[in-house]
Amino acid sequence: MTVNVNIHEAKTHLSRLLERVAAGERVVISKAGTPIADLVPHQAATVAFGGLKGEVAYDDQTFGLDPDIQQMFYGRDSGKPGESSESGDLGRSDGDAAP
C-alpha cells in the first residue's frame, strides 16, 4: 500500500511514517502535490571482496615512486628528504618550503 503525505505532515509524523515503512508500506512525500521523495524499506547491499580477482593485472612497478614526483618533493639526485646535492632545489632539511 502507498501513502501520500505532504512535507509538513511528514515532518510532524516522521516516527509513525517510519513505522509504516518498516511494516512494508511505501510513503510518498509531496511538495505542492508533486512527489519529491519516497520512503521505502532499507535493502542492504551485499559486499563481495575480491570480485575482480584474476581480472586485473599489474606489475610491481605500478606502485613504485614516480621519478618526476619524487624530484618535485625532494629535488634532483636525491632519494630521501633533506639530502640534496644542489643548492636552490626544492628539498630542505627542515621539511618546510623555501621562503
Where in the chain are the domains?
2-39, 62-90
Half-sphere CA count of 34, side-chain side, radius 13 A: 2
What span, in angstroms and rounded, lies between the C-alpha atoms of 98 and 70? 17
State percent of the chain over pLDDT 90. 40
Enter the DSSP assignment of 81.
Answer: T
- Span 29-55, mean pLDDT? 91
pLDDT in tens, 53-66: 888 888 877 788 88
Contact 29, 5 (CB under 8 A): yes
What span, in angstroms and rounded, lies between the C-alpha atoms of 22 and 39? 10
Pick the CATH number of 2-39 from 3.40.1620, 3.30.70, 2.40.50, 3.40.1350: 3.40.1620
Q: How confident is the model at residue 21 (pLDDT cuts 50, 70, 90)?
A: very high
The full DSSP string for 27-48 is EEEEETTEEEEEE----PPP--
Query: Which amino acid, residue 18?
Result: L
Task: Flag the least confident range among 14-23, 55-64, 81-90.
Answer: 81-90
The pLDDT value recorded for residue 69 is 87
- Span 22-41, mean pLDDT? 95
Cell of 22: 518498516
Q: How confident is the model at residue 87 (pLDDT cuts 50, 70, 90)?
A: very low
